[in-house]
């Protein structure tokens, strides 16, 4: 018994000082009486109370569940945060964040390029129904923030890199200028392996775990990580009150996906860099946007802020809509689908898919034109991926 306690303590110390890859595998796992090497899924919706007076960690699975609790421990480790919460989707996490941080009449500044579903949530629900004032601002230029910020600005909402134009802003500078507001960074596109916004001064980090964190395109989920305990308590209260929780089975999938995040991200990036260089020199391509290219407009911020570039590339093809269709129809490995960050390579046409909610004018104003495509580079063999793109481009 004494020996077990000592070895557990030594293990805890190793974990505390361990590197990212070690921590994400071991954090939250514990040995039960059967000796499971990995935590089983706890499907129970409710937990039996020994009597009315005893309080216990888990009572009802909406409020707390061992499988969710395990994944939340791992999620906190990912962003080096004190607290994490796991939600039923990225948009569920966003909804609870907005409900927690804003009240009618408040003002919010958001990056002008964001996932289409996020803008739809802001515009159609929080602006229209709850009278939140939202200003979309190009935050690549810090002066734009200075002129947009108001006394009642309560929240600055950032994606960096943005979806789908991969625009980058300086989290540290924005956090220093925030005045009375909180800074929330949607870190989905880089994953916690390549960027940690809390360390750069942000107050809240949000992820669609559907993407890199789970990594296998088989679960929809979201996460919020914070260091402030009262903020955590409010978010947790609203999560339980609205019921926006990650299910036990999805918690298991996300916890499993997290264990390979580091190795997947390295491969996504290695492949994406090669593909970005291939596209950049191709005569049928008009423009390539990838944070790892020197041609990226905010490459100076990228060098300072990112630990890596991840696997999303946006590009414009030369020519008409027919040519775009020909190109898409001739791809064999890249599949036409929404979402990103999985092991398989995907291609998306934002104007018709992820950003179809925006009007043509809104899309044109920020630069999402009809020929823009977004690649999510998977972890397949990179020569196969380049050949797939090459053959499809030759058919155009
Ligand atoms: O799909 P969901 O898990 O609800 O996550 C929403 C979301 C939040 N933030 C970012 C940056 C996102 O890209 C998304 C979802 N995006 C896609 C489905 C997509 O194809 O871009």
Look up tokens 């216990």; give the residue.
56
- What is the spatial order of strands in the sheet that 312-317 belongs to? 285-289, 312-317, 372-376, 346-348, 335-336
Are 277 and 380 contained in the same domain? yes
Shared domain check, 289 and 251 = no
Is 21 contained in some domain? Answer: no
Same-domain pairing of 131 and 212: yes
Kindly state whether residues 218 and 347 are assigned to the same domain.
Answer: no
Q: Whose CA is nearest to atom 21 of ligand 1?
A: 339
Let me know if residue 112 belongs to a domain: yes
Q: Annotated catalytic, 53? A: no
Residue 310 and residue 271 in one domain: yes
Is the same domain home to 248 and 373? no
Please indicate, yes or no, whether residues 251 and 272 belong to a single structural domain of this protein: no
- Domain stops at, among 258, 293, 320: 258
Same domain flag for 244 and 168 = yes
Shared domain for 170 and 193, answered yes or no, is: yes
Q: 211, 239, 258: which is the final residue of a domain?
A: 258
Residue nearest to atom 10 of ligand 1 (CA): 115
- The residue segments making up the domain with residue 250 are 40-258
Last residue within a domain, chosen from 239, 258, 277: 258
Alpha carbon of 207 to ligand 1 centroid (Å): 9
Provide the pLDDT for residue 49. 95
115 counts as catalytic: yes
Position 383 in a domain: yes
- Is residue 341 in a domain? yes
Give the domain CATH number at 341. Answer: 3.90.1150.10
- In this structure, the answer to whether residues 191 and 283 fall within a common structural domain is no
Q: What is the pTM of this model?
A: 0.96
Task: Please check whether residues 273 and 385 belong to one and the same domain.
Answer: yes
Handedness of CA 90, 374, 193, 115 (dihedral sign): negative
Q: Is 186 a catalytic residue?
A: yes
**What average pLDDT values come out for the chain (396 residues) when binned by 10 residues?**
53 70 89 86 97 95 97 96 98 98 98 98 97 98 97 97 98 96 98 98 98 98 98 98 98 98 98 98 97 98 98 95 94 98 98 96 96 98 98 95
30 within some domain: no
Residue 18 confidence (pLDDT): 83
Expressed in angstroms and rounded, the spacing between residue 314 Cα and the centre of ligand 1 is 16
Tally of domains in the chain:
2
Q: What CATH number did the domain enclosing 82 receive?
A: 3.40.640.10
Q: Please report whether residue 182 resides in a domain.
A: yes
Ligand 1 near 310 CB (within 6 A): no
Shared-domain flag, residues 112 and 236: yes
pLDDT of residue 31: 75
- Angle at CA of residue 220, ends 107 and 38, nearest 5°: 125
């Amino acid at each position: 018994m004494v020996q077990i306690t000592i070895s557990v303590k030594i293990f805890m110390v190793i974990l505390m000082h361990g590197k990212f890859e070690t921590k994400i595998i071991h954090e939250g796992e514990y040995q039960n009486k059967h000796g499971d090497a990995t935590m089983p899924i706890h499907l129970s919706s409710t937990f039996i109370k020994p009597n009315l007076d005893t309080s216990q960690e888990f009572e009802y699975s909406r409020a707390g569940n061992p499988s969710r609790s395990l994944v939340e421990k791992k999620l906190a480790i990912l962003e080096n945060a004190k607290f994490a919460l796991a939600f039923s989707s990225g948009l569920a996490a966003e909804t609870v964040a907005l409900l927690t941080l804003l009240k009618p009449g408040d003002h919010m500044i958001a990056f002008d390029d964001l996932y289409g579903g996020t803008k739809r949530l802001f515009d159609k629900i929080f602006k229209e129904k709850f009278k939140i004032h939202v200003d979309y601002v190009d935050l690549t230029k810090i002066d734009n923030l200075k002129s947009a910020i108001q006394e009642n600005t309560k929240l600055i909402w950032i994606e960096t890199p943005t979806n789908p134009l991969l625009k980058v802003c300086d989290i540290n500078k924005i956090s220093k200028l925030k005045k009375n507001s909180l800074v929330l960074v949607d870190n989905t596109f880089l994953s916690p392996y390549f960027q940690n916004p809390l360390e750069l001064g942000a107050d809240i980090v949000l992820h669609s775990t559907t993407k890199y964190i789970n990594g296998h395109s088989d679960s929809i989920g979201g996460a919020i990580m914070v260091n402030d305990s009262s903020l955590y308590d409010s978010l947790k209260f609203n999560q339980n009150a609205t019921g926006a929780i990650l299910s036990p089975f999805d918690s298991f999938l996300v916890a499993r996906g997290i264990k390979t995040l580091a190795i997947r991200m390295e491969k996504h990036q290695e492949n994406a860099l090669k593909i970005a260089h291939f596209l950049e020199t191709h005569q049928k391509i008009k423009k390539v946007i990838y944070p790892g290219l020197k041609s990226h407009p905010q490459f100076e911020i990228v060098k300072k802020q990112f630990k890596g570039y991840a696997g999303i590339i946006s590009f414009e093809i030369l020519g008409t809509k027919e040519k775009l269709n020909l190109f898409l129809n001739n791809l064999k490995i890249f599949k036409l689908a929404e979402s990103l960050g999985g092991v398989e390579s995907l291609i998306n046409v934002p104007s018709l898919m992820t950003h179809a909610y925006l009007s043509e004018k809104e899309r044109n104003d920020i630069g999402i034109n009809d020929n823009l495509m977004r690649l999510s580079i998977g972890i397949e063999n990179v020569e196969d991926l380049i050949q797939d793109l090459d053959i499809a481009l030759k058919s155009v």
